[in-house]
Amino acid sequence: MKPNNWAIKPKKLATKLNKLASKMAVALSSCLLSVVVCAADTIKVGVLHSLSGTMAISETTLKDTVLMMVEAQNKKGGLLGKKLEAVVVDPASNWPLFAEKTRELLTKHQVDVIFGCWTSVSRKSVLPVVEELNGLLFYPVQYEGEESSKNVFYTGAAPNQQAIPAVDYLKQELEVERWVLAGTDYVYPRTTNKILEAYLKASGVSEKDIMINYTPFGHSDWQSIVAEIKKFGGAGKKTAVVSTINGDANVPFYKELGNQGIAAEDIPVVAFSVGEEELSGIDTKPLVGHLAAWNYFQSVESAANADFIKQWKAYIKDDKRVTNDPMEATYIGFNLWAAAVEKAGTTAVDTVAKAMIGMTAPNLTGTTAVMNRNHHLSKPVLIGEIQDDGQFEVVWETEWVVPGDAWSDYLPGSRDIVADWVAPIKCGNFNTKTAKCSGQNY
Amino acid sequence: MITGGNIFTVATLRAQTALFVAVLFGVTLYASVCNLLLPQDSVFYVSTYTVTLMGKYLCYALLALAVDVIWGYCGILSLGHGAFFALGGYVMGMYLMRQIGDRGVYGNSELPDFMVFLNWQELPWYWCGLDHFWLAALLVLLVPGLLAFGFGWLAFRSRVAGVYLSIMTQALTYALMLAFFRNEMGFGGNNGLTDFKDILGFDLQADTTRVALMLCSALALGTAYLASRLILASKFGRVILAIRDAEDRARFLGFRTQDYKVWLFVYSALLAALAGALYVPQVGIINPGEFSPLNSIEVVVWVAVGGRGTLYGAVVGALLVNYAKTRFTGVMPEAWLFALGSLFVLVTVCLPKGLAGLLSRLGSRRRRLAAVDA
Amino acid sequence: MLEDLRQLLRRDQVWPFLLEPVPPAIDVSHRMILYVEGLTVSFDGFKALNDLNLYLEDGELRCLIGANGAGKTTLMDVITGKTRPDAGAVFFGQTLNLLERSEADIAALGVGRKFQKPSVFEAQTVYANLELAMKMNKGIWPTLLARLTPEQRDRIDQVLEIVGLDHRRGLAAGALSHGQKQWLEIGMLLIAEPRLLLIDEPVAGMTAQETERTAQLLTSLAGEHTVVVVEHDMEFVRSIAKTVTVLHQGAVLAEGSMAQVQSNPAVVEVYLGDSQ
Amino acid sequence: MTLQKRIMQKQILQNTALWAIVLVLIGYVFCRPVYGEGEAVELPALAQQLAGVKLKELPNLVGQLEVAGKTAVVPLFEALLNGDLYYRKVDRLVVIARLSPAGDYQLRDALLVTPLGRAEKKALKKIRISNRVRSGLRDAIARLTLFSDDPTLRRPAVANLFNRLDDDSVALLQSAAARETDTDILATIERALALHTLLVSPDIPAQLQALDKLDGSLEPVVRNRLAALLESTENTGATRDPAVIRKAAAVLHSIHADIEFYEFLETLFFGLSLGSVLLLVATGLAITFGVMGVINMAHGELIMLGAYTTYVVQLLMPDHIGYSLLVAVPAAFLVSAATGIVIERSVIRFLHGRPLETLLATFGISLLLQQTVRSVFSPLNRQVESPSWLSGSLELNAVFSLTYNRLYILVFALLVFVALLLVLKRTSLGLQVRAVAQNREMAKAMGIRTDWVDALTFGLGSGIAGIAGVALSQLTNVGPNLGQAYIIDSFMVVVFGGVGNLWGTLVGSFSLGIVNKFLEPATGAVLANILVLVFIILFIQKRPRGLFPQRGRAGQS
């Protein structure tokens, strides 16, 4: 046994395995072959989504989306006269592994851009590495905000692009007076609910009309909590549930709601983590009428969306597959990046990042997405009602696009902080009171 | 061959230990020198990525060693050693968090970022004092050590053994995982602790710091290996083996076996905690996922693959499996899980002594053949 | 739980693992070394021992016989601390209450036990087995730092010779034959220098020759040690026993010399009842 | 029907936009004889407007339809509510369409419900509705069915009106009371009228009498109105007779006491239900672990296989979802049992007497099974439908109801348990299993084929895991990670109850379930879970062999 083997030898083996894998995994085939074939002079696109482990359910789709976009771009002739080459790694839903794989992408494969991450914790794990090695990360999922990094572009929704419009809708259109904020116990629901609580109190809702509840990941026994919600909702005022319940816990939650006789007309549930893909694994009959707030729904009728759905179904070779909001965020992010590279004429991170600001790209709902100075997008907000075919019927939408706010105005800690990556501020967390850019040492 | 690995002559053991230490330090020092002194385009250059990876593997190897000490030598199968590893890591993580000071995104020198945006007003008491490295270093060992002592004292005194003990250790780490997931606990919930800046004033992103941390891990592993070797070669070690093979007999000979088990368990937990504390600054994050029972079971598999009951087997197993994991998850994630699953089954059914057992069997056959030839 | 914690934190006691074990002296001023009185043990309603009384004289060799389930092994379990009785008392000498002590303590007091099924440390050498059994401080630190003194080496050599395993000293105990394991276990008892030896079926699986040697060994032990032998082999019992105790349904049925016992009508009825 | 009824009862508030329409309609219905003769001529034309109507205009259109069509539009409303209303793209004809077994749609006239032939899905366009429309439709159906002959229709209608008590609904209820024959419904109407009297009548004896009637009434609306009444006298000093106030307070107090009692029952039921799930998942383990000493870490995956079997069964019989579970139970048993036997024969039999090794090997098997399922069925969750007899709840009164799926699973778990006991106690297989568990060598000597018994025992335990999977498919996600969520819990139950003792498993699972559910309101779900785990860890220190240990010498070795 010579332990130093691990550091040097198995180059050949890896190449062989690469070839083998490309034969095996149908979805990966074209791209991985290109990894092997195209040795030099390509623009490398890193894909950092979990393909195994608990997050594989959600993230595999995004990996496929990026690969589809890369393929489409190559058909259009690539970028700057070069072909794009996707480098796919699997961080296996393991957070430290996300950091390790990022380092691998940036140092070993020297990718020009990374599309990746889903959970907040994975992004937090990757962040120091991306900043250290000056990479470029596009993050396509709605999140809790409270962050703006020089090296990250956030194409998902910030809380003010999802949670606050949803609450406004419930207040104004459904005249909700009593609120249940139910979430899985992690940072996104915690922050979102903190923001919503402050927002509701600021608009005159009293403490006793707000109920906050947290449950663990994958919670499956919802009997007591649903009974409590039912009791809370039986007090004579219109009640709604704002749900930041994550992933797997949703199915048993909705089932229990249905069985305990809580229909959408009585106590509507508006969810921020339930999209078309999640619904495709659920018997949606008991869910009909419940709501979700996103920046995109598959059911939106626009030419761009129709094309996108067609392209997706053709790429994935499955007519039943659906599209969802994080896919749109990936789509926008990719197009913005491609446009910025064209504009900058290089893939150098600093130049591209500069070109990104103010860059626009059409989104799939018929309007235009703009990358703001705080590295967040301006997007429209849509509220949809779940239908029995697993799709959403849009019942409300904002009149204009809403700019994403990195630092919430409703949290005491971040009220005075703004992100602005254009000179003279050039800072992700600029404190307007002290006029200082705290923490980050750029 | 009755039960391999235990009836080594003193000479083979010495040779084995010397070889292990030589290889360990040879490789790590070589990598350090090549990383720091050679230019990046040199053929012999070792990238920082590789150095960090090596550091991580060495921590895993130390964790595997910890599990092997109690499982291979005392027959206590702990499915919760990840708990001690993670606790050690959390203490270190808390120290690193305190080192950030006012360089966090909110510029709050009193509170870590995650406490600021969840509206914590002041630092919880259990965070106090952790800005001092030596106190943190003490707590790295003290916290998991006390937990191991408390758990072991209760469990071994009431003679919870075998499968029951395994399931209880699993419950322990599972309960801790759930607890650390709770944001009210003040450990950052699901996100855990991250965004570390420096350790003892050295920038964590610097190549030299990374190399130093990797060398520290190697040193820790080497020391732990030697210490374990000494302990197990003493009469104490023979009592431990005696307890593994016939606990009742040992008890009727006058040994308070529960005390022996408790102290060995604590020793093993300390090794695991040390591994965790070294792991965190190198990977840059610690979160409740490390408490997951699955992780702990995986560690047991590294040991099984390498060969339990031989210290070098545990180390080799940890390195091999993790290396394979790094290689293959990138290339074919699906096949990897199939491979890992089959590895479990094949090793337990066909290679109960792991690779080390295979080696020693081959070795003894060669010796026998040689004897015949002569 | 709380009570345990309180016990743990008692100021007037040093934690047992920190304590240097000093075996208390055994008071045999009334010539008796073991008192067993009113012992009752039940498993799920079945009385394995039923108000059993037994007294052993210091230095005697006593045989216990009785049918399966008569309570012989259970009695040994109680004396060595493995099983807690429902009622009764067990005293070692005049003063030492064995029921308050753990197995390890009882062993340290000088009660050795050989199991029905030979129980040795199979992964270790014969020599190491004896070394482990050697009488010495069995605390954690002393064990960690222990080195064999020349006297101890001599003692091991001596015992190896007595049990006839001299030429097997380097062999793993697991490689020994069944009989040799029995001998090794007896050797382990000897080297621990106990006052009282409890020996469960020592000659099971032994050849006639080996049995004879065992008989010799056991008789030679009596006097210096007190020996209790449980055995089914009546020939063997007859060859070694001065006093025999017959157990039946968890209680003493008869006691006396082999001849007395054999002519006792109660014993005859129990053993031969069916055939009459 | 019960679903509708419950939904009606819950409708306390209605948005004001709809109120206007409701008032007009009630007035209209009240002023005119209910079974009027005038058939509105414009009805088909109105119905036709549904084709391509904007969501915003739909509530208005529904109101017009109700006025024009009255009971004639009930089928149309119900079709609209259930999402069965379409229009044909060619002629924009509004039709009720249902999926036929052939895969195309069977069309019916929207008003006359006469068959209109078939159509492809592509030729149809669904008329989509929103919550607001849905709620309006439910109200309209309630009003239209208040005088129906079917008491199951009248009941929700009454409850609906009770919840929005005002002069108009009272008038409607009074007229309904006159012709009501069902005593239960009549009592509800009387309570509603009493509440109205209490709130508006100036007559103090009448108020007191009304309070008598309201005593023990559990409808939330009564509780809320009483509380509001007391609060308003306290805060604003509104003039009310002190006797009435005192009595109202007493009535409210007794209502709260009743509710507390029912809440206790409810929590108990939740605990039993959680316990029954634990029992189902742990019983199989109690056999493989308790009887054979095999630590089967793949137990969770065998449960998962059972759930996937349910999914496949539903795929195979899409038209008989109601019966699919009855087929799925034996199918899941067979699939999991067969898998279990294969595992036993191929791996576990080599590891006999080495429980810790079985743990490792079966953990590997669990990874393999998970990944296999991922490859075959995709990593996404699969959709398993709940048959209608499993949805909804058994409503015992306004505050206490038992959900059917939980109720059935509770009964089912007990049945499985009893069946298993019978198999073990009464059959020769059971005898052999117990014999092998107690003394393998002896059993072998008696001529029992121990390897065969091992395989069957393992198969039995695995099969029960499969059955548990069928039950779980009705409660939670069917995905590759399904099993992992339950494996630690099931080990806890078995160890807590005492290995090798089925009764221990029964008592263990129910007590853990109940403790968990009673802790949950006080501590939250996560902490309750942690506390239960810590409790078990400490309990095992005190009683290392669980609640019901196997005793005697065999148990100690």
DSSP D153-173: HHHHHHHHHHHT-SHHHHHHH
Q: How confident is the model at residue C15 (pLDDT cuts 50, 70, 90)?
A: low
Percentage of chain D with pLDDT > 70? 90
Give the closest-approach CA distance of D292 to chain A in angstroms: 30
pLDDT of the residue at A9: 42
The pLDDT tens digits of the residues spanning A255-314 come to: 888 888 888 888 999 999 899 988 887 778 878 889 999 999 999 989 999 999 999 999
Examine the pLDDT at A27 and tell me if it is beyond 90: no
User: Does B371 reach chain D within 8 Å, measured CB to CB?
Assistant: no
pLDDT at B1: 33
Query: Domain for residue B2, yes or no?
Result: no
Rounded to whole angstroms, the Cα distance separating D499 from A118 reads: 42
**What does the pLDDT look like over B305-333, one tens digit per residue?**
898 888 999 999 999 999 988 877 766 76
Side-chain half-sphere exposure of D147, counting CA atoms within 13 A: 16
For residue A5, the model assigns a pLDDT of 41
Neighboring chain C residues of D553 at a CB cutoff of 8 Å: 43
Nearest to A264 by CA among A288, A246, A284: A288
Comparing alpha-carbon positions, the chain C residue that sits nearest to B228 is: C144
Has residue A22 got a pLDDT over 80? no
Domain limits of chain D?
2-144, 165-240, 262-384+402-502
Report how far residue B260's alpha carbon sits from residue B237's, in angstroms, rounded to the nearest whole number.
10
Subunits with at least 3 CB pairs below 8 A relative to chain A?
B, D
Q: By residue range, what is the domain housing residue B320? A: 10-190+199-373
B230 touches chain C (CB under 8 A): no
Quote the DSSP letter at residue B286.
E
Alpha-carbon span B62 to B219, nearest angstrom:
10
- Judged by DSSP in three states, A396 sits in strand
Can you give the pLDDT at residue A239?
93
- Mean pLDDT score, A41-63: 88
Question: Of 1.10.8.590, 3.40.50.2300, 3.30.479.10, 3.40.1350.10, which CATH number belongs to A163-271?
Answer: 3.40.50.2300
Q: Inform me whether the C-beta atom of residue D33 falls under 8 Å from chain C C-beta atoms.
A: no
Go through C28-42 and write b for each residue having 16 or more CB atoms within 10 A of its CB, e for each that does not. beeebbbbbeebbbb
Which of these ranges, C116-130, C135-149, D292-306, has the smallest mean pLDDT? C135-149
Dihedral of the alpha carbons of C129, C135, C136, C138, in degrees to the nearest 10? 60
Residue range A131-148: mean pLDDT, rounded: 93
**Distance, in angstroms, between C141 CA and closest chain B CA?**
8
Average pLDDT, whole number, for chain D?
83
Tell me the average pLDDT of chain A. 86
Are A392 and A386 spatial neighbours (Cβ–Cβ below 8 Å)? yes
pLDDT over threshold 90, residue D418: yes
pLDDT, residue A14, reads 46
Do chain A and C touch: 3 or more Cβ pairs under 8 angstroms? no
The proportion of chain A whose per-residue pLDDT surpasses 70, expressed as a percent, equals: 90
Q: Which of residues 32-71 of C touch D (CB under 8 A)?
A: 43-44, 46
> B301, B294, B296: which is closest to B276 by C-alpha?
B296
pLDDT of residue B333: 65
Residues 6+ apart with CB under 8 A from B329: A52, A89, A90, A92, A97, B336
Comparing CB atoms, the residue among D351, D365, D537 nearest residue B171 is D537
Burial class (CB in 10 A: 0-12, 13-18, 19+), C44: exposed
Residues C209-234 have a mean pLDDT of 86
- CB contact burial D218-228 (16+ within 10 A = b; e otherwise): bbbbbbbbbbe
Label residue C22 by pLDDT band (50, 70, 90). low
Confidence tier at D11 by pLDDT (50, 70, 90): very low
Q: In a 3-state reduction of DSSP, which class is residue A241?
A: strand
Average pLDDT over residues D32-42: 45
Angle at which helix D131-145 crosses helix D74-81, to 10 degrees, equals 150
Helix (H) or strand (E) holding A8, with range, is: helix A5-8
Contact (CB<8Å) D544/B345:
no
| B370–C contact, CB cutoff 8 A | no
- Burial category of D253 from C-beta neighbours within 10 Å (exposed 0-12, middle 13-18, buried 19 and up): exposed
- A386 pLDDT above the threshold of 80: yes
- Closest by Cα among D457, D532, D458, D460 to D496: D532
- Closest Cα in chain C, distance from residue B146 (Å): 15
CA distance B155 to chain D (A): 6
What per-residue confidence (pLDDT) applies to D15?
44
| Cβ pair A356, A371 in contact under 8 A | yes
Q: Which residues of D touch A262 (CB under 8 A)?
A: 10
Chain B environment of C172 (Cβ under 8 Å): 2-3, 7
Please tell me if residue C208 touches chain D, with a CB cutoff of 8 Å. Answer: no
Alpha carbon distance D226, D232 (integer Å): 10
CA distances (Å), B113 to each of A125, A430, B91, B123, D372, in order?
Answer: 14, 15, 17, 11, 42
| Cross-chain Cβ contact D359/B163 below 8 Å | yes
Query: What pLDDT does residue D308 have?
Result: 96
**Residue B141 in domain:** yes
Report the pLDDT value the prediction gives residue C273, as an integer from 0 to 100.
Answer: 53
Name the one residue in this structure whose structure tokens are 């730092």: C145
Taking the CB of residue D101, how many other CB atoms lie within 10 A of it?
Answer: 8
Lowest mean pLDDT among A188-202, C52-66, D2-16, D109-123: D2-16
Which candidate, D513, A413, D530, places its Cα nearest to that of B182?
D530
Nearest to A157 by CA among A300, A340, A369, A428: A369
Flag if A90 and B118 touch (Cβ within 8 Å): no
In this complex, the chains that touch B, judged by 3 or more CB pairs closer than 8 A, are A, C, D
Which residues of chain D does A264 touch, with a Cβ-Cβ cutoff of 8 Å?
A: 131, 134
| Domain extent listing, chain A | 20-135, 163-271
Structure tokens at C139: 């605390």
> For residue range C87-138, what is the model confidence (pLDDT) as tens digits?
899 999 888 888 888 888 888 888 998 888 888 898 899 999 999 988 888 8
pLDDT at A16 > cutoff 50: no
Asked if B361 has any chain C CB less than 8 Å from its own CB, the reply is no
**Per-residue model confidence as pLDDT tens digits over B162-217:** 888 998 999 999 999 999 998 888 898 888 998 898 899 899 888 899 999 999 99
D542 and chain C in contact, CB less than 8 A = yes
Q: How confident is the model at residue C17 (pLDDT cuts 50, 70, 90)?
A: low
What percent of chain B stands above pLDDT 90? 54
Q: What is the count of structural domains for chain B? A: 1
Query: Tell me, what's the pLDDT at A86?
Result: 94
CB contacts of A235 in chain D (<8 Å) are 220, 224
Query: What subunits make at least 3 CB pairs under 8 angstroms with D?
Result: A, B, C
Q: What's the rounded Cα separation, in Å, for the pair D385 and D532?
A: 32
Q: Which residue of D has its CA nearest to B336?
A: D371
The least confident of A199-208, A355-364, D147-156 is D147-156
Looking at residue B330, its pLDDT comes to 65
What pLDDT is attached to residue A25? Answer: 43
Cα radius of gyration rounded to whole Å, chain D: 30
| pLDDT above 50 (res A26) | no
Query: What are the angstrom distances between the C-alpha of B53 and each of A278, A402, B49, C131?
Result: 36, 43, 6, 45
A414 three-state secondary structure: coil
- What average pLDDT does the structure give for chain B? 88
Residue B5 lies in a domain: no
What pLDDT is recorded for position B151?
94
The answer to whether the CB of D139 falls within 8 A of the CB of D11 is yes
Q: Do B189 and A186 touch (CB under 8 A)?
A: yes
Query: Which segment, A357-371, D138-152, D428-442, is predicted with the most confidence on average?
Result: A357-371
Mutate to test the interface with D, among C8, C41, C44, C74 (most CBs of D within 10 A): C44
Residue D239, Cβ neighbours under 10 Å: how many?
6
DSSP H helices in chain B: 10-37, 48-74, 81-100, 113-117, 133-157, 162-181, 207-233, 235-245, 247-252, 257-283, 293-306, 311-331, 333-350, 354-373
**Cα–Cα dist A294/A275, whole Å:** 8
pLDDT by residue (tens digit) across D152-180?
778 878 887 787 777 777 888 888 888 78
CB B312 within 8 A of CB B96: no
Asked if A216 lies within 8 A of D525 by C-beta distance, the reply is: yes
Instruction: Name the minimum distance, in Å, from the CA of D331 to any CA of chain B.
Output: 26
Domains (range + CATH), chain C = 61-81+110-275 (3.40.50.300)
| Position A35 pLDDT exceeds 60 | no
Tell me the average pLDDT across A35-44: 62
Distance CA B90, CA A199 (A): 34
Distance from the Cα of D285 to chain A's closest Cα (Å) equals 20
Q: Considering only CB atoms, which residues of chain D are within 8 Å of chain B?
A: 289, 293, 295, 297, 347, 350-351, 355-357, 359-361, 363-368, 370-371, 374-375, 484, 488, 491-492, 495, 499, 526-527, 529-530, 533-534, 536-538, 540-542, 544
Kindly report the length of chain C. 276
Q: CA B290 to CA A95: how far, in whole Å? A: 9
**Whole-number pLDDT of residue D209:** 86
Best CA proximity match to D273, nearest among D62, D6, D510: D510
Which of the residue ranges A380-389, B60-69, B280-289 has the most confident prediction, judged by mean pLDDT? Answer: B60-69
B69 lies in a domain? yes
Angle, vertex CA B155, rays to CA B149 and CA B156, nearest 5 = 85
> For residue C275, what pLDDT band results from cuts at 50, 70 and 90?
very low
Q: Which residue of D has its CA nearest to C71?
A: D553
The mean of the pLDDT values for chain C is: 84
Signed CA dihedral, B146, B151, B156, B161: sign only: negative
Q: Rounded mean pLDDT of A202-226?
A: 90
Mean pLDDT on C25-33: 80
Sign, CA dihedral A303-A305-A310-A314, equals positive
Give the integer Cα–Cα distance in Å for A189 and C114. Answer: 64
Task: Please indicate whether, in this complex, the C-beta atoms of D481 and A54 are within 8 angstroms of each other.
Answer: yes
Share of chain B above pLDDT 70, in %: 94
C-alpha to C-alpha distance for B43 and B47, rounded to whole angstroms: 11
Contact status of A234 with chain B (Cβ, < 8 Å): no
Q: What is the pLDDT of residues B228-237, one digit of tens each?
A: 999 998 999 9
Tell me the average pLDDT across D456-475: 94
Cβ neighbours, 10 Å, residue C100: 10
Q: What pLDDT was estimated at residue A310? A: 95
d(CA D523, CA D516): 10
Which residue, A410, A194, A439, is CA-closest to B108?
A439
Residue-level pLDDT at C20: 59
Average pLDDT over residues D278-290: 90
| Residue pLDDT, tens place only, C160-194 | 998 888 888 888 888 888 888 888 998 998 898 88
Percent of chain D with pLDDT over 90: 26
Query: What pLDDT does B171 receive?
Result: 92
What's the CA gap between B268 and B270, in Å, rounded?
Answer: 5
Cβ atoms of D363 and D355 within 8 Å: the answer is no
DSSP state letter for C172: B
- B337, B294 in Cβ contact below 8 A? no
- How far is B117 from A414, CA to CA, in rounded Å? 7
- CB contacts, 8 Å: B3 with chain C: 122-123, 172, 174
pLDDT of residue C14: 64
B174 contacts D488? CB cut-off 8 A: yes
Q: What residues in D contact C44, CB-CB < 8 Å?
A: 551-552
Q: Is the pLDDT of residue D65 over 90?
A: no
pLDDT of the residue at B43? 84
Note which residues in 341-400 of chain A have CB less than 8 A from chain D: 385, 387-388, 393, 395
Task: Give the residue from B247, B270, B271 showing the smallest Cα distance to B257.
Answer: B247
Element (H, E) at C50: strand C46-57
pLDDT at position D10: 44
Please check whether residue A351 is in contact with residue A397, taking contact to mean a CB–CB distance below 8 angstroms: no
Contact D551 C1 (CB under 8 A): no
Q: Do A236 and D221 touch (CB under 8 A)?
A: yes
D350/B340 touch (CB, cutoff 8 Å), yes or no: no
D551 contacts in C (CB within 8 Å)? 43-44
Distance (Å, whole) CA D28 – CA D11: 22
Q: What is the predicted ipTM?
A: 0.84
- CATH 3.40.50.2300 describes domain A20-135: yes
Nearest residue in chain A measured CA to CA from B46: A7
Tell me: pLDDT of A148 over 50: yes
Instruction: Nearest by CB to B166, from D359, D367, D534: name it.
Output: D359
> What distance lies between CA B298 and its chain's CA centroid?
11
* Non-local CB neighbours of C224 within 8 Å, separated by 6+ positions: C59
**A74-103 pLDDT, tens per residue?**
999 999 999 999 999 888 888 888 999 999
Proportion of chain C above pLDDT 90, given as a percent: 13
